[in-house]
Amino acid sequence: MAIFSNIKKQILNSKKTILVNDLGSGSRILKTNKREISKIGKIAGISKKKAAILIRLVDYFKPSNILEIGTSVGLSTSAIKIGNDKSNITTLEGCLETSKIAENLFKEQKFNNIHIITGDFKDTIKKAIKEKQFDFIYFDGNHTKKDTLKYFKDCLFTIKNESIWVFDDIYLNQEMKQAWSEIKKHPKVRVTVDIFHWGIVFFKKGQAKEHFKIRV
């Protein structure tokens, strides 16, 4: 966790500004395209509490091929890498300048086997899942109902018994609550764990359909 705290501190102390190309629903807080890295890290980046859970989750399940939808400046990617340094991570980001910041961070930290694909999720998700089989997917891109369900459906044909999917911010707004409720109902989904910050989905065939709520 100390490594993550240092990375987060470094981002929060950055004095750099970039021009952001926002392909998502846009920041609810940051209104201009000229943005400070420190603000992006503070507002869009994973919190220390969630990072600690992500590190433990990845350390416990040890998925080897991971897809992250929504890199931003690379904070959650770093948490995943810290959780399992042997993992191969493909991470998707729409904004070139933002993804460059993440790429530099991974180089500085000597995090290997992280492949950033830059472009609109509507193209990059299809490209990523065609190239590789993922056992863990972290959905932290565009927090609208329509897009969340689209990404869910796009990735569905890749599922295996061991697949684990994590949806960020399932209570962010009404749309995300509705998206989460639809995901839970999907016939391929067996077990879900709602930890409030995230909805975690398991697909193991033969497992009774069950939904758990845990406060962490």
Q: Which strands make up the sheet holding 88-93, listed edge to edge?
A: 114-118, 88-93, 65-69, 136-139, 164-168, 198-202, 191-194, 210-213
Which among 18-26, 29-37, 191-199, 200-208 is the span making contact with ligand SAM, rule CB under 6 A?
Answer: 18-26
Q: Which of 7, 18, 58, 75 is in the footprint of ligand SAM by CB under 6 A? A: 75
Q: Which of 10, 12, 14, 23 is in the footprint of ligand SAM by CB under 6 A? A: 23
Q: Which of 18, 46, 67, 101 is in the footprint of ligand SAM by CB under 6 A? A: 46
Site string for ligand SAM, 92-111 (x = CB under 6 A): -xxx--x-------------
Is-contact 69 125, C-beta < 8 A? yes
Is the dihedral angle over the CA atoms 5, 140, 159, 186 positive or is it negative?
positive
Find the binding residues for ligand SAM in span 111-170 (CB under 6 A): 120-121, 140-142
Is-contact 47 19, C-beta < 8 A? no
Interface ranges with ligand SAM (CB under 6 A): 22-24, 44-46, 70, 72, 75-76, 93-95, 98, 120-121, 140-142
